[in-house]
Amino acid sequence: MFQLDWKKFRAHALVSALALTGTVALVPAQPAMAQSAPQMKGLPDFTELVEQVGPAVVNIRTLERARPSAAGSGQMDEDMQEFFRRFFGQPAPGAPRQAPRPNRPQPQDEDAQPRGVGSGFILTSDGFVMTNAHVVDGAEEVMVTLPDKREFKARVVGTPDKRTDVAVIKIDATGLPAVKIGDVNRLKVGEWVMAIGSPFGLENTVTAGIVSAKQRDTGDYLPFIQTDVAINPGNSGGPLINMRGEVVGINSQIYSRSGGFMGISFAIPIDEAIRVSEQLRSPAGRVSRGRIGVQIDQVTKDVAESIGLGKPQGALVRSVESGSPADKAGIEAGDIITRLDGKAIERATDLPRMVGNTKPGSKATVTVFRRGGSKDLGVTIAEFEAEKPVKRVSEKEAEKPKGSAAAQSVGLVVSDLTDAQKKEMKIKGGVKVETVAEAAARAGIREGDIIVAIGNTEIHSVREFDAVIAKVDKSKAVPVLLRRGELASYLLLRPSRG
């Protein structure tokens, strides 16, 4: 026999009535819903972190020998000196100088004078300290002050690495408190972080904020961690610390239009810094990086779409150094390097970082996009050295062939290259631009440029150039690969409609 559950019936009737009348009822949240709701947390408490990490953060002062100066001239405040050196790359032009203070003897040539201030943190209990290269570079003396006020004269270990802005110094002490190294891969955007340093010489100053972005490309060798932690001159070289009390970065740079903190700071990822520090502490005392000998540029969206690459990715090879690993591997100007050992190259700046972190002498596979298809090339990584200056191609006027009028719709007159010109420029083919007008001029093509390919079709002669231009869709932009000196680049040519 059917029995009515009055409790369920009344509950159902109440819900139905509320739905029909539009009345809102407040009911307790069900357990399942409570589990899926975000948990609200209070503001973080940094006191334990400061107690934990603070003893391992040091103040760094650098000294240099005073040089003769004109009577009556003084020196800028040491904090401002460090500020202008770091953020402007040079002393401030026309910076005001302090008049000599009364009853203060003028410095003699052999006196050690303040040069700059910075921060650092203790890596090991036996006295290895990490900081920025720009803090200690060029200093004649480096003094380290611990939070307990002990002061030590430090020596710079190896050669400070300017490309990553990382340096290691050593003090003669044992039993020191050392920091814990964190995992940058676990760091998340929006996560709370803290900095400890000596802004303007104010030792053990604590500031905090959040991670604003990761892998921030500022044009330097490393992708930075961007934060809104207050960083000022003197914070350079100090640690960026996560909520677990681990160092995840070295505070290195700020973005500023006024010279002061504007809410954007950059830190060197600690994993990259540790890799550099290990090499500095090795017997060689310097950082060894890989290189393949190419000059590169970004791939634009328009070029990527027009050549069939799809999305803008990889590094456009503008030139290949003669005799370099890239040259021997068959990499050509105009290639787009999309992968290194299977790892995708999303931006052009990824390539030098990935190659630089590859051990010199090792073999790698480079994937290039060329003429609409991908190709794998084997390359042996060489050791990084100063790049050779770009050599401009000299033109031999006596070998100039007679130009022919070609494709009036693009505003170009081109001529064939001689065998001697091809050999000198180390190219298989192409045509030389003799005259530029109309659409070609608007695209940025210049007289003397060498057109190597149109679209994904290689050009070897004026006849081929004419044939390809005749088939160009006048309603679409066509990518033109050209050589200018030893550099290759893509330009988008938009033919004039007849």
Every domain of the chain and the residues it spans: 45-89+108-287, 290-383, 397-493
Better pLDDT: 210 or 463: 210
**Single pTM value for the model:** 0.63
Q: What is the distance between the alpha carbons of residues 450 and 458, in angstroms, rounded to a whole number?
A: 12
Domain 397-493 top-level CATH class: mainly beta
Instruction: Provide the CATH number for the domain formed by 45-89+108-287 in this structure.
Output: 2.40.10.120
Q: Which two tokens stand for residue 251?
A: 């505070």
Would you say the CATH fold of 397-493 matches that of 290-383? yes
Q: What pLDDT, on a 0 to 100 scale, did the predictor assign at position 99?
A: 36
Q: What is the mean pLDDT of residues 141-166?
A: 93
List b or e across 50-74, with b for residues whose CB sees 16 or more CB atoms inside 10 angstroms. bebbebbbbbbbbbeebeeeeeeee
Which tens digits make up the pLDDT trace of 362-393? 999 999 999 889 999 999 999 886 434 333 33
**CA dist list (Å): 322 to 86, 303, 426:** 36, 26, 9
Which tens digits make up the pLDDT trace of 295-354? 988 899 988 988 899 889 999 999 998 889 999 999 999 999 999 999 999 988 889 889
* Superfamily (CATH H level) for 290-383: PDZ domain (2.30.42.10)
Q: What is the mean pLDDT of residues 379-408?
A: 53
Least confident among 34-48, 182-196, 324-338, 484-498: 34-48
3-class secondary structure per residue, the chain:
CCCCCHHHHHHHHHHHHHHHHCCCCCCCCCHHHHHHCCCCCCCCCCHHHHHHHHHHEEEEEEEEECCCCCCCCCCCCHHHHHHHHHHCCCCCCCCCCCCCCCCCCCCCCCCEEEEEEEEEEECCCCCEEEECHHHHCCCCEEEEECCCCCEEEEEEEEEEECCCCEEEEECCCCCCCCCEECCHHHCCCCCEEEEEECHHHCCCEEEEEEEEEEEECCCCCCCEEEECCCCCCCCCCCEEEECCCEEEEEEEEECCCCCCCCCCEEEEEHHHHHHHHHHHCCCCCCCCCEECCEEEECCCHHHHHHCCCCCCCCEEEEEECCCCHHHHHCCCCCCEEEEECCEECCCCCHHHHHHHCCCCCCEEEEEEEECCEEEEEEEECEECCCCCCCCCCCCCHHHCCCCEEECHHHCEEEEECCHHHHHHHCCCCCEEEEEECHHHHHHCCCCCCEEEEECCEECCCHHHHHHHHHCCCCCCCEEEEEEECCEEEEEEECCCCC
Q: What pLDDT, on a 0 to 100 scale, did the predictor assign at position 176?
A: 96
Q: Compute the mean pLDDT over every residue in the chain, rounded to the nearest whole number.
A: 79
Q: What is the distance between the alpha carbons of residues 485 and 330, in angstroms, rounded to a whole number?
A: 19
Give the residue numbers marked as catalytic. 134, 165, 236
Q: Which two tokens stand for residue 414?
A: 């081109």
Q: What pLDDT, on a 0 to 100 scale, did the predictor assign at position 196?
A: 95
